[in-house]
A and B are shown apart, each in its own frame.
Chain A
Amino acid sequence: MSAPLKTASPGDSAPTGPAVTKGRTGAGDERGEGVVLNVFSHGFLALWALMIVLPLLWLILSAFKTDAQIGGSAFGWPENWTLDVFSRAWDKGIGDYFLNTVIVLAFSVPLTMLFGSMAAYVLARYQFWGNRLLYFFFVAGAMFPVFLALVPLFFMVKRLDMLNSYQGLILVYVAYSLPFTVFFMHAFFRTLPTAVFEAAILDGASHTRTFFQVMLPMAKPGLISVGIFNTLGQWNQYILPTVLMQPQSGDDPERYVLTQGLVQLQQQQGYASDLPVLFAGVTIAMIPMLVVYLSFQRQVQAGLTSATLK
């Protein structure tokens, strides 16, 4: 038996190559069926891959076209090979939106991870009255649609005078990321060996120190998975900023995040048409995701799918 069933690793050119026989005895008539099926399945697989890649490439190429070209024909080849359009998009707001998103995430993701693992750790490893109740209370939050909370949430943030402010959005992001983070890290802390914990306590480390210097480092694989999940989730969040990040008065500056800004830019197209700028903006927004995805491909897939499996 030469072929292992696992063929997931990217560099691994799948072990057996295109299959020719159905394997059993390799009788002639069965060979035929195998080939037909193979052509069929490969055809479908390749078609779907093209359906993913072509629209994305087409959109990026469109950034290099002129407005007239974009409106004229879908498959004209771009002639405008300058990066000028990207700097125009950056100046037209994409730069600000990008920075706003980075500022918010620079605080919200680490805080989510910190508070989420603190709560999960205590709930997973200490026994106290109300422990299970509190755990279910956290997990239950993940099941409700965010729309249920939107109206009162808006007025809550308004009362705290944090509408259209970074700190308001950061706190809300952290709060709404807690259920999943607690849920996932809770499961993870449970699997860590007790012996190490006891050794640290015996050596005189405080509970706080044990957490930060012993347990948290041991939970690193879990932290990476949840971290990626939260980063992508918060980067792509649209509903919460739409409600919470609207300028409140005339002199209140715009603090749109990237997703909001792109939609804004798209909706302005009705008035002042500059489609290449819109497409360049989308390309700029896609690049970090593409880089993160290609460099952490396995962790991203594991992090996102474990969200549903656990």
Chain B
Amino acid sequence: MRKGQYRFVAGFLFIPVALYLIFVIWPYLQTFGYSLTDWKGQSQTFSFVGLDNYTALFQDDIFLKAIWHNILFLLFIPVITILLALFFAFMLNAGGRGRAGGVSGVAGSGFYKIVYFFPQVLSLAILAVLFGAVYRSDSGGMLNGFLMKLGLVEESSPVEWLNEPNFVLWALIAVVVWHGVGFYLVLFSAAMQAIPRDIYEAALIDGAGRAHTFFRITLPLLWDSVQTAWVYLGIAAMDMFILVSTMTAGEYGGGPDHHSEVMATVMMRNFLLYGRSGYACAMGVVMLLLTLIVSVVMLRATRRERIEF
């Protein structure tokens, strides 16, 4: 390679690599080091404490509770979102049956896709305000107001969706599902449209109904996308910081009485409110390890033989 070319390559890489090293890679690496210290953040002095932060972490009831809530999110969010998205995507792309025997989407599928996808472009902060109003714990809340109209909830005792330990996690799951279904619907739709029509028509001639077509043809051919969706939703379920910290009670959320706490809220509270930097770093490391484990397990658990078409 000529000398001028090296200079060009180096010149183009210098700024991006420098930015990336300073703001991303170096902090990532530092976290591991700080997690082994008793650093409080304000003072510049700290000492090495070994794995003390980690042993403290696994005796911290609030953090253990938070891990459990993340696991619950992990179990429910991907399953509900993917099932709904698959159902809608199938309806929109192959649910209709043409008079001449073709397979097509139902009427108005373009319109549905536009509407369903819209929540995805809204920030989670907007969703927090929106659903804060929807879940309001008096007759002014949309959900309570609606249930009162139907006579399912007494006017005098409205449901406190976000302050009731039994409901708060479900209320949060509903927001995530509401937000995500449209996105995965579009993802699955793109994959469904790549499936050749001949296959559907062959199935139709062989007398397959909608359910058969879906389980025997669409789902197996879509498996790659489903797997991707699973991993992404799993990673989202390990986070949940914005919704929990803005919608539930308490500094950085987690209320009522830690019933909606997730790892990220505990970490941010320890860092920004209590200034326990070293301890917060240890939580960051645990979050990384759990997220990696989740990705690997989900990839393994959903592995199928790849079908070429």
Contacts and interface: CB of A to CB of B under 8 A. Distances in A.
Nearest to B206: A24
Contacts of A21: 97, 99
A238 B128 CA distance: 12
B87 A24 contact: no
Interface residues of A, number: 119
B129 A282 contact: yes
B161 interface: no
Contacts of B20: 138, 141, 175, 178-179
B9 A148 contact: no
A147 interface: yes
B104 A3 contact: yes
Interface in B129-159: 129-134, 136, 138-142, 144-146, 149
A163 B205 CA distance: 66
B222 interface: no
A246 to B, nearest CB: 8
Contact of B277 (A22, A121, A141, A151): A151
A171 B19 contact: yes
A309 interface: yes
A20 interface: yes
A149 B108 contact: no
A171 B84 CA distance: 39
Nearest to B241: A239
Given A1-B101, A141-B20, A175-B20, 16 more contacts: A14-B104, A17-B107, A19-B96, A19-B98, A49-B112, A72-B140, A73-B139, A118-B12, A150-B267, A179-B20, A207-B4, A208-B11, A236-B125, A258-B125, A282-B129, A304-B120
Interface of B: 1, 4-6, 8-9, 11-13, 15-17, 19-20, 22-28, 30-31, 34, 41, 84, 87-88, 91-126, 128-134, 136, 138-142, 144-146, 149, 178, 181-183, 186-187, 189-190, 193, 195, 197, 200-201, 204-205, 207, 209-210, 225, 228-229, 232, 235, 238-239, 241-242, 246, 264, 267-268, 271-272, 277, 280-281, 283-285, 287-288, 291-292, 295
